[in-house]
Amino acid sequence: MTDKARIAVLISGAGTNMAALVYASRIADCPYEVVLVAANDPAAPGLTLAEAEGIPTFALPHKGLTREAHDSAMEAAVLEAGAEYIVLAGYMRILSEGFVERWTGRMLNIHPSLLPKYKGLDTHARAIAAGDSHGGTSVHLVTPELDAGEVLAQIAVPITPQETAESLAERVKLAEHQLYPRAVADYVSRWRNPGWLLAQIRTRALALPETCEQESFGSAGFRAGEGKSGKYFAYFSDRPHGHERIALLVKTSGMDELHALVEDQPETYFKPAFYGASGWVGIVLDRPDLDWGAVDAWLQRSWRSVAPKRLTRFMDIADEF
Ligand code: GAR
């Protein structure tokens, strides 16, 4: 991949996490670049640093604006910068539901606690008061409910005997500066991560009735039907012959369909070594714009072509109407 993911970082204050994200992006092979730093406070010290780093900035005080109007203006700046992801770094604003929903799966936050513990404010004081052995930090996806989205990564930080909220906050920030750039890098490049892709395929394939996973020549394979009579309907293929892509192999109706697919959409489909001869098609998985709905449809179709009649009979009847 040559293209880097474009991220906008939203801050409200010091912006030390933003700085960590920026400096990590300057290391060769970092899969993202920071294309905008935006703040809801024009006096946020982080803006000065971003400007000195030559990064475009945007600032708009929220005072006097409705939440929606302020969010829309921030969002317009993010879109204008061509960002694909929004990364919140000490952005101390509750976001409107519409804004969050438009960025589902593309907005990340860092929160100074071991979520699901201590959502909201005063996280360090609350961890100390509770007698916890550790505080920490979490990177999570942003959903409309505050600090409740899927946790992507965490670091636990011990609470020492004389700990104060301030001293703990400082040490947690050191951990955050390590964690956030790595978590963002992993997230924006997961579309080409074989482990993540296999987990997606596995969940989807095993959600179909009476399926199981069985390795075949080093690839994860998925079978429909019970025991020995089960038949393969999908393989996860991680570049077995060097030149191929990370792919899902599924059954087409035969050579005519296979050749038509490969001819019409060479970016998406290819004829896999060995399996292609019996009408299996390779669907390229390692692409940022992969259509997971289409992958699901192929899995279902391929499953149906080998599944026992007793399972597919009702579907066949339904199709006739
Ligand atoms: C960070 O510790 C971050 O986890 C926290 O604010 C700090 C910002 O510091 N965020 C929240 O509390 C969000 N609920 P920074 O401006 O130096 O990056």
What is the pLDDT at residue 123? 98
Instruction: Give 313's pLDDT tier (boundaries 50, 70, 90).
Output: confident
CA-nearest residue for atom 10, ligand 1, is 90
Ligand 1 centre and the CA of 194: distance in Å? 32
pLDDT tens, position by position, 126-152 = 999 999 999 999 999 999 999 999 999
What is the pLDDT at residue 228? 82
What is the pLDDT at residue 240? 74
| Ligand 1 mutation target, pool 173, 174, 177, 178, most atoms within 8 A of CB | 173
Contacts of 70 (CB under 8 A, 6+ apart): 40, 60, 62, 93
Instruction: Give 223's pLDDT tier (boundaries 50, 70, 90).
Output: very high
**Token pair of 153 as six digits:** 């990564």
Ligand 1 centre and the CA of 89: distance in Å? 6
- Identify each DSSP E strand in 242-313 by its residue range: 246-251, 269-270, 280-284
More confident residue, 317 or 36: 36
Which residue ranges have their beta carbon within 6 Å of ligand 1?
Answer: 11, 13-17, 89-90, 110-112, 137, 173, 176
What is the pLDDT at residue 318? 78
Instruction: Give 182's pLDDT tier (boundaries 50, 70, 90).
Output: very high
pLDDT tens, position by position, 68-126 = 999 999 999 999 999 999 999 999 999 999 999 999 999 999 999 999 999 999 999 99
Ligand 1 centre and the CA of 182: distance in Å? 17
- Assess whether 111 carries a catalytic annotation: yes
Assess contact for 286 and 197: CB atoms under 8 A. Answer: yes
Domains of the chain in start order, with CATH, are: 5-191 (3.40.50.170), 194-319 (3.90.1150.30)
Residue 1: pLDDT over 50: no
Assess contact for 272 and 261: CB atoms under 8 A. Answer: no
Mean residue pLDDT across the chain: 95
Exactly one of 70, 111, 124, 177 is catalytic; name it: 111
Residue 3: pLDDT over 90: no
What is the pLDDT at residue 243? 64
What is the pLDDT at residue 314? 79
Assess contact for 47 and 89: CB atoms under 8 A. Answer: no
CA-only gyration radius of the chain, Å: 24
pLDDT tens, position by position, 275-306 = 998 999 999 999 988 999 999 999 999 999 99
Question: What b/e readout covers 5-44, taking b as 16+ CB neighbours within 10 angstroms?
Answer: bbbbbbbbbebbbbbbbbebbeeeebbbebbbbbbbbeeb
Closest atom of ligand 1 relative to the 109 alpha carbon: 13
Rounded Cα distance, 300 and 47, in Å? 50
Residue 154: pLDDT over 90: yes
Question: CB count, 10 Å around CB of 123?
Answer: 25
Residue 162: pLDDT over 70: yes
| End-to-end CA separation in angstroms for the chain | 46
Averaged pLDDT, 6-34: 98
Closest atom of ligand 1 relative to the 111 alpha carbon: 4
Q: Whose CA is closest to 15, among 123, 183, 177?
A: 177
| Ligand 1 mutation target, pool 110, 122, 157, most atoms within 8 A of CB | 110
**Token pair of 156 as six digits:** 């636990």
Ligand 1 centre and the CA of 76: distance in Å? 23
